[in-house]
Every structure is written in C-alpha cells, then in structure tokens.
C-alpha cells in the first residue's frame, strides 16, 4: 500500500500519461468489433435447434426476404395501371443484390390445360393491353388461389405484395443487410413517384434485421450522448465541482473505451444483449468514482478555511479517501465481476459475452478509479465549493429519523417489499420481436399494416421426409400434408399455409379440364409424379421448386405464416401441431417445427429462465464473498435482502404496470447489480468499521450515513436521471431498460437508506443480528 500511495503522490503525471497510452492501445481494438443481429449468434454451433434449421436451409434455401406491401389509394389492385406497377417492381426486384427469386401476382405461374397439354405461364403480361374481361379473369383466378391469398394478395383484392427472397453471403452482415434494405427503399420511393396512386410499405426478415441496428444507432447518436451529458451535469451540480465531474467523466470514458477495445482485440462480436455492456460499466464506474470523490471532498473541509494549508491537505485528502474506500471498492468490484461471470451458465453465447465484457469493465473501473482518478486529483484537484456538503445535514437528519422510527420503517418497508416482490412471478416471460419497437417507428407501423391487410412475417417450417426418392408423389404422403395444412388453416394464429399438396391438387384439377371436383390429391403416385414433372419442366428460371422440394424428391418444405404472435403463443401452436402429427402422421413424418422464429422462441424462453436463475446465483455468490471479506457470516447473509429486494420490487411493480418480461429486459437485474451491491457493501463496511472501533449500533448507523449516505444519494440520482433519458427511445428495448434501471436504482436507495439500517438496529431478540454484532466486535 505504501508503494502504491507513493507512486500516486510522486509520479502522478507519469500515471496519467501511462494510463492514457494504455487506453489508446486498448481502444484501438474497437475497430475489430462487429455488430450482428443474425439470430444464429444466439446459438452455439452444435445447438440441435440451429443444426435442424441449417439442415432445412441447406436442403432448400434460406428465407431472408424483403416484402413490398402495395396499397392502391383507390383500393383496387386489379387495374391496368396497378398491374403495370407490379410488373415494373417485379422486374426491378431481380436487380436486388444477392437476389434468389421474386414472387408477385405478375410472375405467379398460372396453370391450365389445353387438350392434353399443361400450360404454365405468368398470370398476366402487357397489362395496359388487357381487356376488362381479362382483368376480371385474372382477379378471379388470384382471389381463388390458395397459394396467393393471404400471401401475395388480400382476400378483398385491395392490397398486394411483391416478395423478394435473397441469399446473403454472410461475409459482412453490417454492410450486406443495409445495402439490401437501402435498395428496397429506393425502389419503394421510385414506385410511388411513378404511380402516385400507390402506397408502398416495407417489411420482411431483412427489414427487421436492419431495424434493430438502426434503432440502436439512432439512440447512440442522440439519447446516449444526452444521457452522458446529464450524468456529467448532475455530477457537477451535486458534487459542487465541475472539475470533479470532468475527472469522473474521463474515468468513465477511459473505462468504457478500454473495455470495448479489449473486447475487439479478443474477437468479441456485439449483439443486442452484449451491446448493453457500456451501460452496465457506466453504473459501476460512476458509483466507484463518486464514493472516492465524496470522501475526498469531506477530508478537504477540515482545511477549507486555511488556504495556506491547501497544497498539503490536497494529498492528505486523496490519501485518506483511498485508504477509506479501496477495500469496499475492491469488494464491490470483486462481487460484481463474479456476479457477471455467472452469465457464463447461459445457453446463449451473446449472454455469455455480456457477462465477460461486463466483468472486464468492472475490472477496468476498479483499476482506473484507484489509479487514474487519484492521480488526476493530485495533478489538478477538484476544488469543492463551500456548499459541497449540502447533502450532509440531510443525511444526518435521515440517520436520526431512521434510528427513531426503525420499527415503523421496518414494518412499512417490509410490507412494501413483500407486497411488490409477490407480484414479480406474475410477469409473463414472453417475447414479441415487433414490440421491441415503439408504435411510432415506421418498421412497426408498416409491419402491423402488412399483418392486418395482407400477410404475416413470422414463420413455422417443417421438413417432411418421404419414404424414398420420389416419395413426395405418394398420395398417402400428400394427403397427410393436405390434412395438416387444413388443420393449420383452422388455427386462429395462422394466416397462410404453403404446401406442395396445394400445387398437386391444382395440377390434378387442370388435367381434368379445370374441373373443381378434381381439386384433390392425384389418385396414384405415378400420376402425381407425371404432373409434377410436367410442371417443373415448364417453370422459368428463378421460379423452380427447389425451395419447396429437395433434389431427390424425397422430402418437401411445409411453411406456415403466422399473425403477430408472441413467443409463448408460437410455442403453444407448435406443441398443438406436434400433438396432431403424433396422432395422424407416421413416425417418419413426426418431425419438429423449425424456422428462425421458432428457434428464437425456444432460446428466448431458455435465456430468460437462465438470466433469472443466473441473477439469483450471482446474489448468492456475492453473499458468500461478503461473508469471507467482511468476516461476518450473519452480515453476509443479511446482505442478500438489500441486494435482492430492489430487483424483486422493480419487477413486481413492472408486473402491475406492464406484465411482460422479454429477453432484452431480462438482463436489467444483472445490469444494475453493480450499483445495488455497491451501496450495500459501502454501508455495511462503514457500519462494521464503526462497530469494530467501539461505537454502538446507533452511532455506527450515524457514522455510515455520514460517510457514504451522500455518495449513495448522488450516485442514485445521477444514474436514475441518466438512464431515465432512455425512456424517450423509440426502441422499446432501450426505453424499457431505462425505466427498469430507474426503478431498481430508486428501490435500491430506499432499501439501503431505510430498510438496511433498520435491520441493523433490530433488538437483541434477533439472534441473526446479535451474532453479527458480536462477530464484528470480536474482529476489532
């Protein structure tokens, strides 16, 4: 400790410049960081869910898409002018980067028989030359075609869609997805310019993938800088020193830059969960710095009226603050880092990354708080104003109030805590990706419009194997597909079902003079195979059935399009569908559903549970560490209450106000762990120190309030105000995160200033605290 203090005292400039150089080296690694919204990042490479989806995509094709939702202002799709616009967009769609196929009314492969010949052609061509009778026929065919209705045209014929399917290389998703969406927006604007009668909206998987980083980037450019500005201003006002606020801000900046730079050097890839790491690091670093600074300012008060002693008292104040705070800061950092490391128990790599990056950030916050910050104070001290201790009289009064009213406070806080905590389990662990965006965002508005007027964007898919090569033509196989499709169409969550059985039924009708009575599965395997061969040979390039049938014709793809369903609703439908297969399909066809939405629903439920369990384990680990470090088993156990109660109370209130906890919100308890544990550790450490110096419990409570009460209040106010800004975000994940952080920080302050001291002041009949008190005195 002497060498450390000597280094800070005698080589402050060297410390500052050395750390600045270190930050430059570490921060340069940030250029290697990449951000991805690819759902595959949530899975380990050997995850069975991901392997099954990869098998589907390798057999057929990937399903990345952009859907143009086109609404004529006159509510009539089937007019020469609108049909011409659809034709233009279909042609332009083939110019997309990475395009695989384009589907629209224009190029729907309409089939009919001419004698014994099967004719396959586009549903229409040269729309300006179409007669009213021909347009009526096109409308009649489209609105009675199961492959089109609720997929590419609404049942009323007032909305249509052009679906572009793409296969991205996956080399640089950060460039590929924006490039595709940028071109889609260009085409949408150009189409509306060419035809003012049309309204064009964009949705689809790639548009959603692009919406996540766009929303995050918007917040990073607007709200996050505003959050840091508010943190800076409030620290300056509450600490009564703009220099102190600047030093804290520099320490925060160095901590975040070093952490994210090291993450880049180590090859981390950021994703929506791990992108929350800087906010987590902010909470820990702010708390560490403010505790050091408030103690520094308190020490300076003794020499305030003697300017001649200022130079000497400056280092004395820094030294005293370090000696007073290094241990609780170390304990807080150790316990918080261990808590974040428990995220490695998660099934999902992004959450493991979040825990590891946050733990690194805690380490940097500890290191810079005990080296950079005191060196800055030594080089250019943060001179406090004469009003810098304005909060202290209030803390003294609060201490007296808690001591006088401890029984009533314990009862009120206990009832409030238990009442709210009892509501926490009522939260529904659920995810709805669309609700990640506020109702004001264009992506959500466009997607909700598409779901209401045309089709859905959520999919369930099956890869149904047949018994042998060519087996998909077996009538028994096709009949099961048709029955399964019929069952799905009766489910309230389903918008559309796409199965090769519908194609074979249409071909069978075509080959019987388009007789509706023959719209059924062909009677023999040979007949079905012949129809399918004729159809495939007539399809134009780019519209083959390779996305529905495997090369050996031994399996087919079955796609169910859903409304705006939550993850729980999707999983419920999946379970009901699997029960149907168990009852009506042979064992070879009793396969599990897959698709991006399905596997994300599974991993979402798993991760939410893992986060809840991991947070509980983290608090237990923290309690064990505190038992060892504070040398008091009873106090270590007691720390569980003020550490766990704020999150339980916040989630209980959330259950009353909102009722849903999604995967994004599940990280908040871990995010705020640092500040919650920090307040508890600092208060308990000061209380124990006073007890071990011979003071009674009431005196020890007054001492703890005097030493750390102001710092706890300043930290909580600064963080609550800063994160409260995020509540203005249009990205619901950030808005909800900001609201939950404000709740947890506020409840943590109440727990540590009202509940914890009341517990420590319980009478002798409380054996737990009596043992803690005796143990603390024994350690003197």
DSSP character string of 354-391: HHHHHHHHHHHHHHHHHTHHHHHHHHS--PPPTTTTTH
What sections of 454-595 are H helices per DSSP?
A: 475-489, 500-510, 525-538, 567-584
Q: How far apart are CA 162 and CA 156, in angstroms?
A: 17
In Å, what is the CA distance from 604 to each residue of 268, 275, 279, 341, 414?
21, 17, 22, 20, 33
What was the pLDDT predicted at 240? 77
Cα atoms found within 13 Å of the Cα of residue 364, Cβ hemisphere only = 32
Nearest in space to 388 (alpha carbons), one of 166, 518, 236:
236
More confident residue, 772 or 569: 569
Query: Is residue 306's pLDDT more than 60?
Result: no
pLDDT the model gives residue 651: 93
Which is it for the CA torsion 9, 11, 13, 19, positive or negative? negative
Give me the pLDDT at residue 629, please: 79
Give the number of other CB atoms < 10 A from CB of residue 140: 12
Question: In the sheet that 458-465 helps form, which strands lie side by side, from edge to edge?
Answer: 458-465, 555-562, 494-498
Using alpha carbons, select from 668, 673, 691, 687 the residue that is nearest to residue 753: 687
Least confident of 164-168, 196-200, 205-209, 725-729: 725-729
Are the C-beta atoms of 384 and 240 separated by less than 8 Å? yes
Is pLDDT above 80 for 40?
A: yes
The helix (run of H) or strand (run of E) holding residue 119 is strand 117-122
Please name the residue that has the structure tokens 């005195």.
Answer: 777
Split at pLDDT 50, 70, 90, the class of 383 is low
Question: Could you state, in order of their start, the residue ranges of all structural domains in the chain?
Answer: 2-32+215-422+601-778, 55-111+122-203, 442-593
How far is Cα 313 from Cα 765, in angstroms, rounded to an integer? 46
The answer to whether residues 216 and 275 touch, using CB atoms and an 8 Å cutoff, is: yes
pLDDT bucket at 301, cuts 50 / 70 / 90: low
Give residue 548's pLDDT band: very low, low, confident or very high (50, 70, 90). Answer: very high
Lowest-pLDDT range of 144-158, 469-483, 699-713: 699-713
Of the candidates 369, 333, 323, the residue with the CA atom closest to the CA atom of residue 629:
333
Q: Region 290-315: what's the mean pLDDT?
A: 66
Is residue 524 within 8 A of residue 420, CB to CB? The reply is: no
Kindly tell me if the per-residue pLDDT of 335 is higher than 90: no
| Residues 780 and 694 sit within 8 Å (Cβ to Cβ) | yes
The token pair that represents 296 in the structure block: 């520094």
Question: What is the mean pLDDT of the segment spanning 304-324?
Answer: 68
pLDDT at residue number 765: 37
Calculate what percentage of the chain has a pLDDT beyond 70: 94
Average pLDDT over residues 63-80: 95
In the predicted model, is pLDDT for residue 778 greater than 70? no
Which ranges of 195-222 does DSSP label H, i.e. alpha helix? 205-221
Reported as a pLDDT band with limits 50, 70 and 90, residue 388 is: very low
**What are the two backbone dihedrals, phi and then psi, of residue 465, each rounded to the nearest 5 degrees?**
-80, 150
Residue 124 carries which DSSP code?
-
CB 373 within 8 A of CB 292: yes
Cα separations in angstroms, 525 against 95, 502, 522 = 39, 16, 7
Average pLDDT of span 417-445: 89
User: Can you give the pLDDT at residue 379?
Assistant: 80
Q: Which pLDDT score is estimated for 305? A: 40
Q: Tell me the Ramachandran region of residue 200: left when phi exceeds 0, alpha when psi lies from -120 to 50, beta otherwise.
A: beta
Under the banding of pLDDT at 50, 70 and 90, the label for residue 707 is confident
619-626 mean pLDDT: 82
Q: For 389-524, where are the alpha helices, taking DSSP H only?
A: 391-404, 406-421, 442-453, 475-489, 500-510
Banded model confidence at residue 476, pLDDT cuts 50, 70, 90 = very high
Our CA dihedral for 607, 610, 612, 618, rounded to 10 degrees, sits at: -130
> Of the given ranges (148-152, 376-380, 708-712), which has the lowest mean pLDDT?
376-380
Q: HSE (CB half, 13 Å, CA atoms) of 628?
A: 8
Q: How far apart are the first and last CA of the chain?
A: 21
pLDDT for 582 equals 97
Length of the chain: 780
Q: What percent of the chain has a predicted confidence (pLDDT) above 90?
A: 53
Which of 459-463, 570-574, 636-640 has the least mean pLDDT? 636-640
Q: What is the pLDDT of residue 382?
A: 60
Residue with tokens 């801000």: 249
- CA–CA dist 480, 500 (Å, integer): 11
The structure tokens 């079955």 sit at: 558
Q: Residue 485 has what pLDDT? A: 97
Asked if 460 and 577 count as a contact pair (C-beta separation under 8 A), the reply is yes
- Compute the chain's Rg from CA coordinates: 32
- Quickly name the fold that domain 2-32+215-422+601-778 has: Multidrug efflux transporter AcrB transmembrane fold (1.20.1640)
Among residues 581, 648, 571, 582, the alpha carbon closest in space to that of 606 is found at 571
Name beta bridge partners: 121: 110
Tokens at 780, concatenated: 């003197």
What CATH number has the domain spanning 55-111+122-203?
3.30.70.1430
Average per-residue pLDDT for the chain: 88
Give the pLDDT band of residue 303 (cuts 50, 70, 90): low
Cα→Cα distances 277→161, 255, 263, 358, 359, Å = 40, 11, 11, 5, 9
For residue 766, pLDDT over 50 is answered with no
Q: What distance in Å separates the CA atoms of residue 596 and residue 63, rounded to the nearest whole number?
A: 9
Evaluate whether 236 touches 1 at the Cβ level (below 8 Å).
no
Could you give the CA distance from residue 93 to residue 103 in angstroms, rounded to a whole number? 9
Task: Write the CB contacts of 650 (distance below 8 Å, at least 6 apart in sequence).
Answer: 420, 740, 743, 744, 747
Contact 209, 38 (CB under 8 A): yes
Beta strands 160-166 and 64-72 are antiparallel
pTM of the model: 0.83
The answer to which of 162-176, 223-237, 737-751 has the lowest mean pLDDT is 223-237
């Amino acid at each position: 400790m002497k060498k450390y203090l000597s280094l800070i005292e005698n080589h402050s400039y060297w410390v500052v410049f050395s750390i600045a150089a270190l930050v430059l080296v570490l921060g340069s690694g940030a250029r290697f960081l990449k951000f991805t919204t690819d759902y595959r990042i949530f899975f380990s490479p050997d995850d069975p869910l991901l392997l099954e989806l990869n098998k589907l995509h390798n057999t057929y094709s990937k399903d990345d898409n952009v859907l143009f939702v086109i609404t004529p202002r006159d509510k009539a799709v089937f007019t020469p002018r609108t049909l011409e616009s659809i034709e233009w967009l279909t042609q332009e769609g083939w110019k997309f980067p990475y395009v695989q196929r384009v589907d629209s009314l224009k190029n729907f492969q309409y089939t009919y028989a001419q004698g014994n010949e099967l004719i396959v052609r586009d549903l229409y061509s040269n729309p300006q030359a179409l007669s009213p009778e021909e347009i009526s026929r096109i409308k009649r065919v489209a609105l009675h075609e199961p492959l089109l209705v609720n997929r590419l045209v609404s049942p009323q014929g007032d909305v249509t869609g052009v679906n572009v399917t793409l296969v991205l290389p996956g080399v640089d998703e950060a460039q590929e997805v924006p490039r595709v969406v940028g071109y889609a927006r260009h085409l949408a604007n150009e189409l509306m310019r060419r035809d003012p009668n049309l309204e064009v909206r964009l949705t689809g998987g790639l548009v959603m993938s692009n919406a996540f980083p766009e929303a995050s980037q918007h917040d990073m450019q607007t709200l996050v800088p505003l959050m840091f500005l508010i943190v800076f201003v409030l620290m300056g006002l509450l600490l009564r020193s703009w220099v102190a606020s600047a030093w804290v801000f520099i320490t925060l900046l160095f901590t975040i830059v070093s952490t994210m730079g090291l993450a880049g050097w180590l090859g981390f890839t950021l994703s929506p969960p791990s992108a929350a790491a800087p906010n987590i690091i902010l909470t820990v670093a702010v708390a560490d710095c403010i505790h050091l600074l408030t103690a520094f300012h308190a020490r300076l008060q003794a020499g305030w009226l003697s300017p001649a002693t200022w130079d000497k008292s400056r280092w004395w104040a820094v030294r005293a603050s370090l000696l007073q705070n290094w241990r609780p800061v170390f304990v807080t950092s150790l316990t918080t880092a261990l808590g974040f490391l428990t995220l490695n128990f998660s099934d999902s790599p992004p959450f493991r990354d979040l825990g590891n990056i946050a733990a690194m950030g805690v380490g940097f916050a500890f290191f810079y708080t005990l080296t950079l910050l005191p060196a800055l104070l030594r080089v250019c001290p943060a001179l406090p104003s004469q009003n810098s201790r304005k909060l202290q009289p209030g803390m003294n009064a609060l201490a007296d109030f808690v001591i006088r009213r401890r029984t009533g406070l314990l009862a009120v806080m206990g009832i409030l805590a238990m009442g709210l905590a009892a509501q926490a389990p009522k939260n529904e662990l659920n995810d709805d990706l669309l609700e990640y965006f506020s109702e004001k965002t264009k992506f959500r508005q466009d997607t909700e419009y598409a779901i209401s007027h045309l089709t859905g964007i959520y999919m369930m898919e099956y890869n149904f194997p047949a018994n042998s090569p060519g087996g998909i033509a077996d009538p028994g196989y096709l009949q099961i597909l048709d029955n399964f499709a019929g069952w799905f169409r009766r489910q309230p969550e389903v918008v559309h079902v796409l199965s090769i059985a519908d194609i074979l039924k249409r071909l069978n009708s075509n080959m019987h003079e388009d007789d509706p009575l023959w719209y059924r599965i062909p009677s023999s395997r040979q007949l079905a195979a012949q129809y399918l061969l004729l159809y495939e040979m007539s399809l134009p390039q780019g519209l083959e059935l390779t996305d529905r049938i495997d090369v050996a014709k031994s399996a087919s793809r079955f796609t169910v399009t859903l409304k705006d369903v939550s993850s729980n609703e999707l999983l419920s439908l999946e379970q009901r569908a699997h029960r149907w297969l168990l009852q009506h399909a042979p064992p070879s066809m009793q396969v599990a559903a897959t698709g991006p939405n399905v596997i994300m629903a599974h991993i979402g439920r798993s991760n939410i549970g893992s986060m809840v369990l991991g947070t509980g384990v983290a608090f237990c680990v923290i309690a064990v560490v505190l038992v060892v470090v504070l040398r008091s088993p009873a106090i270590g156990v007691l720390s569980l209450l003020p550490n766990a109660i704020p999150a339980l109370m916040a989630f209980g209130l959330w259950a009353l106000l909102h009722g849903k906890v999604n995967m994004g919100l599940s990280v908040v308890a871990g995010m705020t762990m640092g500040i919650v544990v920090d307040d508890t550790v600092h208060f308990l450490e000061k209380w124990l120190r006073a007890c071990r110096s011979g003071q009674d419990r009431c005196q020890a409570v007054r001492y703890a309030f005097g030493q750390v009460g102001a710092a706890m209040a300043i930290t909580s106010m600064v963080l609550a105000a800063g994160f409260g800004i995020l509540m203005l975000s249009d990205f619901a994940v950030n808005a909800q995160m900001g609201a939950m952080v404000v709740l947890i920080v506020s409840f943590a302050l109440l727990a540590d200033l009202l509940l914890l001291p009341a517990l420590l002041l319980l009478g002798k009949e409380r054996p737990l605290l009596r043992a803690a008190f005796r143990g603390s005195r024994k350690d003197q």
